[in-house]
Amino acid sequence: MMRWRTCAAALVIALAYPAMAQDKAPVADYALIDQAIDGGRLVQARAMLANQRLSEGNQPSTEFEILSAQLALAERRDAQALVAFGDLKTRGVADCRVDAGLGAALVKHQRAREAVAFLDSATQTCPDRWDAWNALGVARDLTGDWKESESAYERAFSLSDNKAGIMNNYGFSLLINGGVKMYH
């Protein structure tokens, strides 16, 4: 009889342990998620955010919301990113990534004049974010401020290894402002 109770207790513990372990997913390192988004490893970032969502439950942290909005922007879900960043800004979240993301989303919605203020704020608060400088370059192009766009692209170049993305925007800038002569 004693042996049966011991086996039954061990079985109950063995069956309960995995359920208890699954209650709380491991917490992701937010900096690693940010690096995955910045590096274009969007599938990895999405998986890390999903894992983080499990650990945070129904009340996601502000950091989780910022990274989710950044991922939406990186995945070209521009309307979703605009709403998410706009909500964060409305709630008074003071973070240069919110300003940069909101500015970039506004640019993608052809609202460059509005975007400039947010992108200027982002580049002043966090001058090491190449993505904010790149988006500022695009916004300045769309507002016809060529000298400022050139300066923004140059700063983005100095901060990033993503030279192709910046070069694409800068090259288009030169084409539209007459800085490059096209020959047939």
The answer to whether 26 touches 55, Cβ cutoff 8 Å, is yes
The answer to whether 15 touches 41, Cβ cutoff 8 Å, is no
All structural domains of the chain with their residue ranges: 26-74
- How far apart are the C-alpha atoms of 7 and 11, rounded to whole Å? 6
| 30 exposure class (CB count in 10 Å sphere: 0-12, 13-18, 19+) | middle
What residues contact 100, with CB distance under 8 A and at least 6 apart? Answer: 118, 119, 122, 123, 126, 129, 131, 132, 135
| 48 exposure class (CB count in 10 Å sphere: 0-12, 13-18, 19+) | buried
- Tokens 């999405």 belong to residue: 46
- How far apart are the C-alpha atoms of 171 and 76, rounded to whole Å? 21
pTM recorded for the entire structure? 0.79
What residues contact 55, with CB distance under 8 A and at least 6 apart? Answer: 24, 25, 26, 27, 28
- Tokens 């993503």 belong to residue: 162
Residue 136: the pLDDT is 98
Residue 80: the pLDDT is 98
Written as tens digits, the pLDDT of the chain (184 aa) is 545 554 444 444 444 434 434 444 455 689 999 999 988 999 999 999 999 988 888 889 999 999 999 999 999 999 999 999 999 999 999 999 999 999 999 999 999 999 999 999 999 999 999 999 999 999 999 999 989 999 999 999 999 887 888 999 998 898 888 765 555 4
- Identity of the residue numbered 20: M
Both tokens of 108, joined, read 């993608």
Residue 74: the pLDDT is 96
- How far apart are the C-alpha atoms of 171 and 179, rounded to whole Å? 9
